[in-house]
Structure 1
Amino acid sequence: MTKAICVTRRGALQGAAGAAAACATEGAGMADELPPWRRYAPPGSGATAPELEHGEISEADGWRRYNAAIEEVRELILTSPLTNHDPQTRAEALAILPQIQAQAYLLAVAPRQDYPRFYLHEYFDPSIFSYNLPNPDFVYRTAFLDGRRIYRIVGRRGDCAWVNFQAFNSFSGVGNANPRALGNWDIDGFVDDANGELEIFVGGPQRERNWIPLDPESRNNWLLVRHLVYEGQSLPPLRIEAADGLRPDTMILSEGELGRRLALGGEIVKYIVTRMTYARVQEVVLREAGGTNAFHTVVGRDEKDAKDGASPLAAYQIAVYEIEPEEALIFEVAPPPSRYWSVQLGDILNQTRDFVHHATHVNDRTAVADADGRVRIVLCSGDPGTSNWLDAMGSVFGRVVWRWYGAEHVETPTIRRVKRVDVRQYLPTESRGVTAAERAAQLRRRRDFHAGLYGF
């Protein structure tokens, strides 16, 4: 039996209240059994050391704090039942540690707010930076900006399906005692000139049009840009520059500022892995869904105050999948009218599985519906010869995430666990199959498109 979820204008979820209550009761006491640092908590829920915002910390103290955070995360990965479910899950989990350390440098140490730039490859990049489950259909740009300054974005709308801007006064609320989401803007709400050129101002006094605010109290506002780019489309040009005429500060960090940023980088590593990823899957997803192979639905508008980058325009359906090597899961859903939807795979610590060389995601344009209008998607390792396939890449444990943008109602997908060799028995007779040659051509198109998009 399918479960309907209503996304109201206020973002409330209706339906399945009894089931949710039962799951919560079943999971009662789980949080109390965990040490505090492993418990899920939204950014800003605990005290933030004032020096992480604007103060100075000695290089030695910053380095000590950074390394202590790394050891804390490593200890969690080495000892948690979730990350030690099986050898592949453990190997994937351990690989996040050096990746997040690289990101700590990029997110905390590297930004020079007086010399702004958009990160592209440095933020999310296929097979390199995959933490936080980036969407294979989105190309992300991000910038870190001083709220006392005024900036200007110039570029073009381009031919991609959609561009969205989202602003926060800090990265995921880390290192800010009063984290805030500052707003969400569609590029089509901005006005371009007769030649299609865009000019958007960021920060400073409010403007009548083409303006994104910043928090003037924050030196590290976070601007996140999502580009929805389907196959055959291209990434539009965008660049950012300071626009207030102020004399820029030196690009060389003082020792006290470097120490502060090192300590902040450690807090970012710790927050992403221990709270936003690990504790959320254990205490929110598994508890609310009632275990593995069941979906938990989150409406972005409900989590807009989490300040961790979730879009308020989307509904997210998240499950932890668990199968044996020769098994498969069949997801079934009737997609509602929406601006965009997709489903993708990740590991247990929210690293997107490779989507350049493997069929690890399906979207509203690639999905093939059956005659009854329903979409059936098969998750397994080894090609099942079906139209809609999610390649588990040998994993038996991980995450499935559905995104629905612009849907007023979403249906909770059903999940059927079967033997991989029996998959066709559970699909309609008219359900379209895919030959080995067709699959090879699909994978070649996928690889060529992303190689061109990311320039590798």
Structure 2
Amino acid sequence: MNLRGQTPEDQAAARIVSGQAWAEFCDTLKAAGASLSFPGTPQTPFDQAEGYRYLTRLTRAGLEAFVEYADPARPVLHRVVHETVKMGSDNPDNYYQTARISGALEYRIRGQRNTIAYLSFGSMIGHYGQGGGMPPTGYIEGSQLHVEDDGSFEIIISATPHPGNWLPMTPESGTLVVRQTFLDRANEQPAELTIECIDMDATPQPLTPAMLEEGLRATSTLVAGASLLFAKWARDFKSHSNTLPLFDPERSTAAGGDPNIVYYHSHWALAPDQALVIEVTPPPCEHWNFQLNNYWMESLDYRNFQVHVNKHSAHYASDGSVRIVVAHADPGLPNWIRTLNHESGTMCFRWVRAERHPQPNTRVVTLDQLKREVLS
């Protein structure tokens, strides 16, 4: 191509005009369906239907992130994961936002703190559509922010140090991730945030064939890569089904997890007359929760049903301990987590900034046995 005097932009234009870029996008989406038949995946019509819906959700998220909001010179904070786009054991207590950034530029976030319990900002290498990990390059949380008396604040995001509220980047940084965590979603208000590029050299660009081709490629890579990655995780979790072992902290951080959170990921499976009982005494901590997911590591429908429990919503025993019951039918006990017609799936327990990290104890019992324990 170089000998013929063609630039990469010329090549991208030719691939767009010929339809090759679109055909490859569609081919990768088609190939992503293989993750639904990865070894260990459930093959029931119900689970497969949820799996294909999952792929459509990932596609929707990718197109928004990598086609609509892909220019780091005009970043937009948007919700890539929410009530109807889910991935990687998304937290029902979280209000996730993300924006495309560049370590070569500088940005300003303006915000109103409001009443949500936990707020954090992280810069990371790469982005969700590139595959591989997303190592952190900077982090600042709400307790570290200087907030004005009226609740307002500003954060500078840059690769060079800055006085005041500063979120570090490196030249390789490509993604901003904002996590806001509710204790009481019904009554707390998330922080109101805007982001702008303040670098004098940054100029928003009109759409080019190369930009569209890259957006389509990143979207299809996200759909294929994320679905396969979490199918592999779920398969591995089956080796310790119905228990909650500690998840490797380095692995979670490399995948974009919050470094202040300790995770316990696993698989669950219950017969119609069985219940999974989880017992633990929470230590002093900023937050904790437990959630139930489908096999594809999507949180279940937390908008309409109780599929998770947290520090605020849990019922505690007199000694400060908590008993969580996962069951298909109502056991008549507090902290009942519904399975919503799922026979199996994945699950996650989190400690957020906890003084200690006690191991949650788990056991599988019949519903009759559980009722006898309560009455005894």
Normalised to the residue count of structure 2, the TM-score between the two structures is: 0.88
Q: CA 1:428–1:173 in structure 2 vs 1: closer, same or farther (change >3 Å)?
A: farther
Superposition CA RMSD, Å: 2.5
Give the Cα–Cα distance (whole angstroms) in 1 for the partners of residues 312 and 81 of structure 2.
Answer: 23
* Distance of 1:416 and 1:304 partners within structure 2: 25
Q: For 1:344, what is the secondary structure of its paired residue? A: strand
- Alignment of structure 1 residues 25-424 onto 2, 5 Å: 57=12, 58-59=15-16, 60-77=19-36, 79-111=37-69, 112-120=71-79, 123-126=80-83, 128-172=84-128, 174=130, 180-217=135-172, 221-231=174-184, 232-246=187-201, 248-250=203-205, 252-275=206-229, 277-283=230-236, 285-287=237-239, 289=240, 292-300=241-249, 302-303=250-251, 306=254, 308-424=255-371
Other structure's SS at 1:88 match? helix
CA apart distance, 1:223: 0.8
Question: What letter corresponds to residue 228 of structure 1 in structure 2?
Answer: T
1:170 aligned partner, one-letter code = G
Once residues 109 and 387 of structure 1 are traced to their aligned partners in structure 2, the CA distance between those partners, rounded to angstroms, is: 45
What is the CA–CA distance in structure 2 between the aligned matches of 1:63 and 1:407, rounded to whole Å?
48
Q: Could you tell me whether the CA contact under 8 Å between 1:299 and 1:312 is conserved in 2?
A: no
CA contact (8 A) 1:63 1:263 kept: no
Identity, % of aligned pairs?
A: 24
Matches of 2:214 and 2:270, distance apart in 1: 44
Give, as a single letter, the amino acid of the residue that structure 2 aligns with 1:337: P
Question: Which amino acid is 2:81 matched to?
Answer: F
Change beyond 3 A, Cα 1:371–1:237: same
Give CA deviations for 1:70-124 in whole Å, capped at 9, x if unaligned. 22221231x335332433222222221111111121222222322222103xx22
Q: Residues 280 and 323 of structure 2 are in contact (CA less than 8 Å); yes or no, is this contact kept in structure 1? A: yes
> Structure 2: 5+ residue runs without aligned partners?
1-8
Counterpart CA distance in 2 for 1:354 and 1:415 is: 23
| Alignment map for 1:424-435 (pairs within 5 Å) | 424-427=371-374
User: With structure 1 as the length reference, what TM-score do the two structures score?
Assistant: 0.74
Residues 129-152 of structure 1: CA deviation (Å, up to 9, x unaligned):
122222111111111112222111
> What SS does the corresponding residue of 1:352 show, helix, strand or coil?
coil
| 8 Å contact kept, 2:288–2:351 | yes
Give the deviation of 1:243 after TM superposition.
1.5
Residue 298 of structure 1: SS of its match in structure 2? Answer: coil
Question: What amino acid sits opposite 1:279 in the alignment?
Answer: K
Tell me, in whole angstroms, the C-alpha distance in 2 between the residues paired with 1:326 and 1:175.
41
The 8 Å contact of residues 172 and 309 in structure 1, kept in 2 or not, is answered as no
Please name the residue that 2:5 is paired with.
none
Alpha carbons of structure 1 residues 157 and 426: separation in structure 2 relative to 1, 3 Å: same
Q: 1:325 to 1:345 in 2, by over 3 A?
A: same
Is this contact kept in 2: 1:131–1:351, CA < 8 A?
yes
Which segments of 5 or more consecutive residues in structure 1 lack a partner in the other structure? Answer: 1-53, 430-456
Say whether the 8 Å CA contact 2:159–2:170 is kept in structure 1. Answer: no
Please give the secondary structure, in 2, of the residue aligned with 1:409. coil
Looking at structure 2, the residues matched to 173 and 94 of structure 1 have their Cα atoms a distance apart, in angstroms, of 19
> 2:300 is paired with a residue of what secondary structure?
coil
C-alpha distance in structure 1 between counterparts of 2:119 and 2:10, whole Å: 36
Give SS of 1:207's match: coil
Going from structure 1 to structure 2, the CA distance change for 1:147 and 1:175 (only over 3 Å counts) comes to farther
Q: Following TM superposition, by how much is the alpha carbon of 1:63 offset from its aligned partner in structure 2, in angstroms?
A: 2.4
Question: Partners of 1:381 and 1:55 in 2: how far apart?
Answer: 58
Could you give the per-residue CA deviations for residues 213-264 of structure 1, whole angstroms, max 9, x where no partner exists?
333345xx111111122322111211111222345233x3211221122112
